[in-house]
Amino acid sequence: MAFNLAVLNLGGRDPEQHFPGGAGSPGAPGAPHPPVNYHAYAACTDGSFHARLDRTLATGRPVLLLLRNDLQGSLSALRRLRKAGRTTVVTFKEAGGSQVAARLTHPTDLKRLGTILAEADGILAPTSSLTDFLDHVRSAVDPRSPLPAVFIPTPYPVDDPRWDFAVQPEKRRGVFIGTREFHTPSRQHLAALYAARRIHGLTGEPITVLNTDGRRGMKNLAALGFAVGPDAALRVVPGPQPYTEYLRTMARHRIVFQLDRSVVPGQVAGDALLCRMPCVGGDGAIERLAFPDFAGHDKEPAALVDIAVSLLENPSRYERACRDAQTRAKEAVSFRAVAGQLAEFYAMLDAKRRL
């Protein structure tokens, strides 16, 4: 029997979207959001993404409820979904460590979260580091609950040839900086740029950064002391870009580099997988699964610089890194792999409800 998931982002700005053909074609008309992040949980199951509770209920599908700032509204929605017989799993809409902490600054929020976790049919964590925390919060309300939070990564359509953005190796050049937020300390964007400057000095490879902050961003970049321009050490691409254009920009480079310590699901690494290129640095879930030898959760910046230089200077190691990452991704984060994990998890929850 087919398993189709309805993802509910209650009150969110993203419009309702259906994924009858999985990931679909990149940039297809009528596809307002690419099949990545939480939309990917819906897309990998040929499911749907919603902002309204009534529309979600009308699908008759099992539900993944994304927890946002309004935890009281989430609790009310959860109770209506379960009353209607919908197996409902909850997860955080913003799952980075600092993002979760920012939503739980008041004791009332923490207590309300515990109630939600205790009443939900199941708990999904898009990062492995979040599971223990969610279990502890839930057990404070209901220590008898036997079901722990389950880690299921956000999937990427690496098994769909339509989403292969690879560029021929001989046409790739340079290092693409995966982060672009000066104002988020855990992204360590400034530190990544300084580290990339050392990579350029050792290899001669140009560095590309996406500037999404306009004139202010250009002033920050100029303050680094880089020469900026098409033939200079630092190439600046104006942003933001449409997702498929962004992937094509990334794919023209040899590696992605970052020093992100946000403990997020890992879109930077997921994007690199779609471009069939290595991602160095970062401590997200996808980084750890697909690029375990290059991830930054257990390495200092200097060690990550050394890895980047080695990949850039050793063609055989570079080719092996690209190949190995795809093998791991197809086993752990592909649409087929994650759809199977979701179907198995919800089947277990359905069986529990019937007891």
Work out the pLDDT band at 148, boundaries 50, 70, 90: confident
pLDDT greater than 70 at residue 330: yes
Per-residue confidence (pLDDT) for residue 42, from 0 to 100: 98
CATH architecture of the domain covering 6-155+334-354: 3-Layer(aba) Sandwich (3.40)
Residue pair 266/287 in contact (Cβ under 8 Å)? The answer is yes
Which whole number is the average pLDDT over 242-257? 97
Which whole number is the average pLDDT over 150-172? 97
Per-residue confidence (pLDDT) for residue 97, from 0 to 100: 63
- CA 68 – CA 66 distance, rounded (Å): 6
pLDDT greater than 90 at residue 78: yes
pLDDT, tens digit (0-9, with 9 covering 90-100), for 167-186: 999 999 999 999 998 888 99
Per-residue confidence (pLDDT) for residue 187, from 0 to 100: 94
Domain covering 161-332 in this structure, CATH number: 3.40.50.2000
- Percent of the chain topping pLDDT 90: 74
- CA 49 – CA 35 distance, rounded (Å): 10
Per-residue confidence (pLDDT) for residue 120, from 0 to 100: 95
pLDDT, tens digit (0-9, with 9 covering 90-100), for 287-315: 999 999 999 999 999 999 999 999 999 99
Q: pTM of this prediction?
A: 0.95
Q: Where in the chain is the domain with CATH 3.40.50.2000?
A: 161-332
